[in-house]
Amino acid sequence: MRKLYFILFLLGLVFPSYAQLSPRAIAMWDFSWLERRWPGAGYENWDKVLDEFVDRGYNAVRIDAYPHLVGVNPTGKWVLDEVWNTQLWGSPDRIEVQVQPALNEFIRKCGERDIKVGLSTWIRRDTTHQEMTIRTPEDIANRWINTLKTIEAEGLLDHILYVDLCNEWPGDSWAPFFHELHPDVIWGQWHTPSSMDWMKRAIDCVRKVYPDIPLLFSFDSQDVSTYRQTDTSFIDLFELHIWMANQNGAEFNKKVGYNYDKFSSESYKNLVRNAEPLYRMTPNYWQGLLTHQIRDMADMAREKRKPLITTECWAVIDYKDWPMLNWDWVKELCEIGVRESAATGMWVAIATSNFCGPQFVGMWRDVEWHRKMTSVIRNAFIDKVLLQNDNTQKLFRRLK
């Protein structure tokens, strides 16, 4: 009975406009927002690209806040090594960046357009290897606290939707410090004891200073059973990355011959030869893998009364404008992912793909497709079962 009264209280007082709440249409601008600012790279004019973003119907964005750098020297200049030169996220070569005051300027411009900002980090490697100076959960937490203080000092915290303490934890590409300390824990094994200890301690440390900001680590594990069997009560929401290409043990990628080459075009040659023909041969099968995963994750979230956000999705993980690659089949899968996730009521922010940025010209220029997808997202519902999770209050306040 007490829980019923609590829910009624939330519905009637805390969320008088709950019925008007709907998911945010979110995109991943990762570290591209800061690094891809040379002429023609896509983000050199923030006002222009943010206006285009809004015109397409988006009202949330996930970016790298570079906390391991800002937390050491907010206005320092850092030289970053490239992650890859095959992909269009970030810089394809060594680049110098200065995070603040650029971060606050970007957040302010988003706020002026009612774009909520999800802060994340890919722990970009710099030439002084600041990423390897993170040795404890408290280290990464304190870097985030210091970063959030620089945002708070400018009165910009209300524009922050959530904080993801590390992208796709505990993958070695984005958490090399953890991999060095725990080499037995491989990509996707977020649920192992050492990983859980890190996440709990780091989140607890940040939460003590910023209790009103939703906190999490994002995951790309596709194994729904680990989410069901693991105590995730300390995480405010799930930021799950879901792709057709990763289902059934990455069956699609294996058949295509896609190997995530970072500095070779061989995987893209295999995409050209094999990806669309493989999909077109049995589209219902590949679509079924995607929809089954979305429904499974939604069911899991409903059981845990945990909100979902997805910023990386729904077709293939890597793609770009490239000879003999077209976007039609990718957009077809992405539309299925958008509609399926929106129909569950468990997502509070939904992306249309990995590729929703100006550097992906073939995807970005299809304005009407984006408007159609963001309309689906922004007219979707949020299941009231999420009100039964006490921690959703702070998230829902930020969704408005």
Question: pLDDT per residue over 81-134, tens digit each?
Answer: 999 999 999 999 999 999 999 999 999 999 999 999 999 999 999 999 999 999
**Given this model, what pLDDT does residue 18 score?**
58
Decide if pLDDT at 14 tops 60.
Answer: no
Question: For residues 80 and 131, what is the distance between their CA atoms, to the nearest angstrom?
Answer: 11
| Domain span holding position 273 | 21-399
Range 326-343 average pLDDT: 98
185 CA to centre of own chain = 22
Is 60 exceeded by the pLDDT of residue 3? Answer: no
d(CA 249, CA 253): 9
Question: Is position 1 within any domain?
Answer: no
4 lies in some domain: no
Q: Quick one: how far is CA 246 from the chain centroid?
A: 16
Residue 173 phi, psi (nearest 5): -65, -35
Read off the pLDDT of each residue in 358-371 and give the average, rounded to a whole number.
98
Q: Is residue 382 situated within a structural domain?
A: yes
CB atoms within 10 A of CB 200: 15
Which of the four pLDDT bands, split at 50, 70 and 90, describes residue 16? very low
Residue 241 has pLDDT above 50, yes or no: yes
Residue 172 three-state SS: coil
Question: What whole-number distance in Å separates Cα of residue 107 and Cα of residue 116?
Answer: 8
Across the range 350-357, mean pLDDT stands at: 98
Selection from 200, 193, 116, 199 nearest residue 160 by Cα: 116
Q: What is the pLDDT of residue 20?
A: 75
The answer to the question of residue 258 being in a domain is: yes
What pLDDT shows up at residue 40?
97
Q: Which amino acid is at 280?
A: R
Structure tokens at 36: 């891809």
Number of domains comprising the chain: 1
Tell whether 3 is covered by a domain. Answer: no
Q: Which are the contacts of 316, defined by CB distance < 8 A and separation ≥ 6?
A: 243, 244, 245, 252, 253, 258, 271, 275, 330
* Predicted pLDDT at 393: 87
pTM over 0.85: yes
- Report residue 149 as tokens: 């203080």
**Residues contacting residue 242 through CB under 8 Å, at least 6 positions apart:** 222, 290, 293, 294, 297, 310, 312, 313, 314, 337
For position 6, what pLDDT does the model report?
Answer: 44
Q: How confident is the model at residue 2 (pLDDT cuts 50, 70, 90)?
A: very low
Residue 9 lies in a domain: no
195 belongs to a structural domain: yes
CA distance 168 to 160: 20
Mean pLDDT of 388-393: 82
User: What is the three-class DSSP state of 313?
Assistant: coil
Q: What is the mean pLDDT of residues 336-353?
A: 98
**Confidence category of residue 12, pLDDT binned at 50, 70, 90:** very low
pLDDT, residue 11, reads 47
pLDDT mean over 356-364 = 98
With respect to residue 78, please indicate whether it lies within any of the assigned structural domains: yes
- Supply the mean pLDDT for the chain: 95
pLDDT at 390: 78
**Residue 166 belongs to domain with CATH number:** 3.20.20.80
pLDDT for the residue 154: 98
Say if residue 166's pLDDT is above 90: yes
pLDDT at 387: 86
Q: Is 168 helix (H, G, I), strand (E, B) or coil?
A: coil
Cα-Cα-Cα-Cα dihedral of 233, 238, 244, 246, to 10°? -60
The residue-averaged pLDDT of 14-21 equals: 60
Average pLDDT on 61-73 reads 98
Residue 9 has pLDDT above 70, yes or no: no
Q: 102 in the Ramachandran plot: left (φ > 0), alpha (ψ -120 to 50) or beta?
A: alpha
Interatomic CA distance for residues 343 and 325, integer angstroms: 30
Percent of the chain with pLDDT over 90: 93
The pLDDT value given to residue 38: 98
Per-residue pLDDT at 56 exceeds 50:
yes
pLDDT at 158 over 50: yes
Q: How far apart are CA 308 and CA 288, in angstroms?
A: 20
Give the Cα separation of 73 and 89 in Å (integer).
24
